[in-house]
């Protein structure tokens, strides 16, 4: 029996939400995951609809969501939290997940990180596999990538699977700072996965990036 994935794609067009989502949708078919893609945040208002999926993928950079941070119950982010808590997976990449809804701290609490900046813009950097036995990185060794090297504010409860180190080329004071590239976390019965690579479709020309993201999605799926 196939699993069902819901992609919620939109927000800032510079991250090519539809193009990257459609690419990943094709790639995860090998895990027997069938997908539906929507371009409207109103689906988050329907908890019953969300609970019909095995994993939810936010691909929505920036944007706003009309929730009051102090009234989480029955809100859109409250519904997303409840769906994941019940066991539905949550996964995503780059700003489509970790730079969505910047003013919604309840969303940030759920996903485990928030984009801050990418010093140097597009740079060459190394991805180091930290947990070499984790199924998310099966068949992946340390690799190099040319993309935005995300500097994140992170939830200290995340489980870091792959990371990168900053150098002093752009800012002396971040020399040697280690930052997650891929991590997992738990939310109730649900599993959460995030990869910070994936700015646009060109990033997916790197086979290691594709493996990391798709295997992470498969891991998180209910």
Domains of the chain, earliest start first: 3-114+181-220 (3.40.50.880)
Locus of tokens 């800012």: 171
- How far is Cα 11 from Cα 95, in angstroms, rounded to an integer? 10
Does the pLDDT value for residue 68 go beyond 90? no
* Residue 34, helix vs strand vs coil: strand
For 59, phi then psi, to 5°, come to -130, 65
**Alpha carbons 72 and 74: distance in angstroms, whole number:** 6
Distance CA 6, CA 10 (A): 13
pLDDT > 70? residue 70: no
Q: Could you read off the pLDDT of 148-205 as tens digits, one per residue?
A: 999 999 999 999 999 999 999 999 999 999 999 999 999 999 999 999 999 999 999 9
Partner residues linked to 195 by β-bridges: 93, 182
pTM, two decimals, is 0.96
Q: What tens digit of pLDDT does each residue of 126-158 get?
A: 999 999 999 999 999 999 999 999 999 999 999
């Amino acid at each position: 029996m196939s699993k069902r994935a819901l992609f919620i794609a939109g927000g800032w067009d510079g991250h090519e939400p539809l193009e990257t989502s459609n690419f990943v949708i094709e790639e995860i078919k090998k895990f027997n995951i069938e997908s539906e893609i929507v371009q409207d945040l109103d689906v988050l208002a329907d908890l019953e609809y969300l609970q019909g999926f095995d994993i939810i993928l936010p691909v929505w950079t920036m944007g706003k969501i009309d929730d009051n941070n102090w009234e989480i119950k029955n809100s859109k982010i409250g519904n997303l939290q409840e769906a994941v808590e019940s066991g539905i997976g949550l996964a995503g990449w780059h700003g489509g997940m970790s730079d969505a809804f910047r003013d919604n701290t309840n969303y940030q609490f759920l996903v485990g990180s928030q984009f801050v900046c990418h010093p140097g813009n597009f740079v060459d950097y190394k991805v180091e596999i930290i947990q070499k036995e984790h199924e998310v990185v099966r068949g992946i060794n340390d690799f190099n990538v040319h993309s935005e090297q995300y500097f994140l504010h992170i939830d200290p409860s995340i489980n870091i699977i792959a990371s990168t180190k900053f150098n002093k080329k752009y800012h002396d004071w971040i020399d040697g700072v280690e930052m997650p590239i891929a991590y997992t976390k738990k939310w109730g019965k649900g599993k959460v996965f995030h990869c910070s690579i994936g700015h646009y479709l060109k990033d997916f020309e790197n086979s290691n990036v594709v493996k990391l993201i798709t295997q992470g999605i498969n891991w998180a799926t209910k």
